[in-house]
Amino acid sequence: MSFIGTELGAALVVILVGFLPNEIWRLLGVLFGRRIDENGLWMQWVRAVATALLAAVVARLLLVPNGALIALPLWLRIAAVAAGIGGFVGFRRSVLAGVLTAEAVLIAGAWWLSVG
């Protein structure tokens, strides 16, 4: 009996090729993550790189938008970023609050301008 071409064969391929290789890295991350000093030099570097990447993505969305953001004027995009920063700081450094505040400004501005 051959499993090739059957649903069971497809499931085995997904498990062997997709799931197990990822689980190995996840397990190693958990094992080695316990020994990492959160205030160490390497973690400071990782945080700095992550912050720089996030700033680059926000700058790109602000200055060179694509998709639905193209229809919104620059001043509205800048206002949304400023409101997002205000929401982040105002709600005890909550990323969710910052994102939701910025989204609310974008949606309200697009509605007010009758864009979309």
* Contact yes or no for 64/108 (Cβ under 8 A): no
Residue 34 has pLDDT above 90, yes or no: no
**In this predicted structure, what is the pLDDT of residue 36?**
85
* Contact yes or no for 106/76 (Cβ under 8 A): yes
Indicate if the alpha-carbon torsion angle 17, 20, 24, 30 is positive or negative: positive
**In this predicted structure, what is the pLDDT of residue 91?**
94
**What contacts 74, CB < 8 A, 6 or more positions away?**
62
* Contact yes or no for 61/54 (Cβ under 8 A): no
Residue 1 has pLDDT above 60, yes or no: no
Per the listing, tokens 């799931």 go with 19
User: What confidence tens digit (pLDDT) does each residue in 50-108 have?
Assistant: 999 999 999 999 999 998 899 999 999 999 999 999 999 999 999 999 999 999 999 99
Mean pLDDT of 4-30: 82
